[in-house]
């Protein structure tokens, strides 16, 4: 009996090692392919600016693809969150190629979008296929979905520790099984090193000067954190606003990104605001050295919320990095903290507010900028988390805990005063 039990334990360990290794390699390889392809289409667009005028056609193609072939996966990351909360069907593998093609089309023709959502959806769709292959239970399938999120996030940003924690934290209030923690970390590092193996590089940022934290510095960090939280709230609500408006007045879904593309191109043509196309990495990098105008982060919110709200594909996270870094940089106009530190704080704090993941975002700040800025980044992320409202970028995310109770009390008092 004991021998069989030991064999059973060895079998389970071996099974999950095989799954982690396979998922990590496949997720990392798909992210590497995506990152290389994304760089290619971005460079092509920058060398051929006229291609922006084809954005409406690109939007129509995306709309038609998802309308006729994307049933069940059109909700993107929310499909993963819903399947985790209430496992019913294995995520169709078609999610991976659809989101990859849709995101590349969006970036090729100049849409303002990110990349995290694409990597997470590809990795999760790939990972979930093992639920059927190994005939996993509902509990084990939840672990698979956590692994998919972890591997996708870690590989696309080059932050394995953050990826592992983010996958757990974003689903924490959906009843995390603590047995998922080890696979989440293991697959994150495997996916990360797979991207390294393919020699695909990530963007690096530096914060050269981190002053000691005193009372006045703490005051300004809290002030900045509130600003970052409000910015993330504005982004989340703006995305939903554009989505609801286009859904209400344009009943045929493929026409939404087409008409949205026409409006987007027209605005860019008459304003010349080309810095808001695509990921905007050059602007993010420059924010650590050059003070940005306050209008930059506001326009990025509007351009990205519009792009995603009307039906184009891509992630929200890199635009959130852009919004946070440029807002932090702009705050250096009157906040007496180093510009690079403010940009770095905003980089992760806006993300924290929009995804309700302050721990993962604090760790990301440590991974990207160094451990010296941990206190500043941590405070900014926590303050942004509490000041960003209840709505985030993931509609299906369950939010409970202190923030949930705080807003419940606030809303109940508002109702009492009516």
Read off the pLDDT of residues 388-403 as tens digits, 9 standing for 90 and up.
988 899 998 988 766 6
Q: Which fold has domain 215-405?
A: Clc chloride channel (1.10.3080)
Q: Which residue has the tokens 């990110």?
A: 114
- Exposure class string for 291-314: b at 16+ Cβ within 10 A, else e: ebeeebbbbbbbbbbbbbbbbbbb
- The hierarchical CATH code for the domain 2-197 is 1.10.3080.10
Q: Residue 209 phi/psi, 5° resolution?
A: -130, 115
**pTM, 2 dp:** 0.94
* Of 97, 86, 103, nearest in space to 138 by CA: 86
Say if residues 208 and 340 touch (Cβ distance below 8 Å).
yes
Which residue intervals of 48-90 are DSSP H helices? 55-69, 77-85
Name every residue whose Cβ is closer than 8 Å to that of residue 299 and which is 6 or more positions away in sequence.
273, 276
Delimiting residues of CATH 1.10.3080.10 domain(s) in the chain? 2-197, 215-405
Read off the pLDDT of residues 282-340 as tens digits, 9 standing for 90 and up.
999 999 999 999 999 999 999 999 999 999 999 999 999 999 999 999 999 999 999 99
DSSP string, 197-259: HTT-----------PPP-HHHHHHHHHHHHHHHHHHHHHHHHHHHHHHHHHHH--STTHHHHH
Mean pLDDT of the chain: 93
In this predicted structure, what is the pLDDT of residue 2? Answer: 45
């Amino acid at each position: 009996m004991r021998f069989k039990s030991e064999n059973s334990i060895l079998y389970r360990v071996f099974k999950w090692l095989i799954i982690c290794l396979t998922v990590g390699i496949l997720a990392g390889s798909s992210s590497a392919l995506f990152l290389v392809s994304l760089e290619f289409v971005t460079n092509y667009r920058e060398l051929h600016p006229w291609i922006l005028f084809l954005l409406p056609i690109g939007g129509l193609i995306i709309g038609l693809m998802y309308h006729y072939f994307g049933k069940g996966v059109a909700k993107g990351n929310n499909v993963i969150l819903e399947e985790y909360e209430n496992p019913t069907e294995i995520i169709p593998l078609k999610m991976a190629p659809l989101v990859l093609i849709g995101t590349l089309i969006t970036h090729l023709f100049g849409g303002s979008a990110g990349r995290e959502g694409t990597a997470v959806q590809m990795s999760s769709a790939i990972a979930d296929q093992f639920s059927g292959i190994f005939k996993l239970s509902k509990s084990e399938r939840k672990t698979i979905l956590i692994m998919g999120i972890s591997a996708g996030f870690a590989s696309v940003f080059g932050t394995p520790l953050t990826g592992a924690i983010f996958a757990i934290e974003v689903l924490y209030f959906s009843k995390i099984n603590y047995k998922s923690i080890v696979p989440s970390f293991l697959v994150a590092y495997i996916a990360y090193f797979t991207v390294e193996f393919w020699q695909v590089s990530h963007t690096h940022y530096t914060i050269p000067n981190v002053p000691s934290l005193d009372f006045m510095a703490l005051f300004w960090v809290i002030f900045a954190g509130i600003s970052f939280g409000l910015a993330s709230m504005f982004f989340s609500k703006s995305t939903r606003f554009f989505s609801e408006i286009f859904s209400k007045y344009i009943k045929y879904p493929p026409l939404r990104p087409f008409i949205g593309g026409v409006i987007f191109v027209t605005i860019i043509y008459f304003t010349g605001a080309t810095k808001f196309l695509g990921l905007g990495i050059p602007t993010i990098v420059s924010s650590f050295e050059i003070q940005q105008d306050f209008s930059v982060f506001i326009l990025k919110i509007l351009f990205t919320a519009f792009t995603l709200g009307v039906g184009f594909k891509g992630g929200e996270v890199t635009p959130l990095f852009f919004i946070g870094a440029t807002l932090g940089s702009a705050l250096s106009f009157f906040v007496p903290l180093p510009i690079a530190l403010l940009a770095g704080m905003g980089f992760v704090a806006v993300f924290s507010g929009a995804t309700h993941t302050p721990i993962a975002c604090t760790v990301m700040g440590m991974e990207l900028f160094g451990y010296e800025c941990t206190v500043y980044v941590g405070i900014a992320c926590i303050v942004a988390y509490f000041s960003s409202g209840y709505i985030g970028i993931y509609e299906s995310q369950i939010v409970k805990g202190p923030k949930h109770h705080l807003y419940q009390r606030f809303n109940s008092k508002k109702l009492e005063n009516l």
